[in-house]
Amino acid sequence: MAGNSQFKNMNAKVILFAKSLTFWWALLFLVVVLNVKLFVDGKEISLNKFVVKILGSTVVGSVSALRGVKEDWKEIKLEIRR
């Protein structure tokens, strides 16, 4: 039985490692592939890599979870006015 317990523990570690790799590949995707720009009243605001990750992942995660949004989308536009 002890051997079976070790196998389950190793299996759990492999799953966690795979999820960790997926997370890092997703972050790399956001930094390298996504082109995130922010305009306020027509003026482009400079963004560092951290802000690109935060804004990009928040918008992409939120929009991708919506029904009717295809997995292979090309562009997301978000317009906010007050």
Q: What is the CA 67 to chain-centroid distance, rounded?
A: 18
Model confidence at 44: pLDDT above 80: yes
- Of the ranges 11-15, 39-43, 51-55, which one carries the lowest mean pLDDT score? 11-15
Give the other-Cβ count within 10 Å of 54's Cβ. 14
Buried b (16+ CB within 10 A) or exposed e, 5-37: eeeeeeeeeeeeeeeeeeeeeeeeebeeeeebe
Whole-prediction pTM value? 0.57
Residue % of the chain over a pLDDT of 70: 60
Distance CA 27, CA 60 (A): 12
- Of the ranges 9-18, 37-46, 58-67, 69-78, which one carries the lowest mean pLDDT score? 9-18
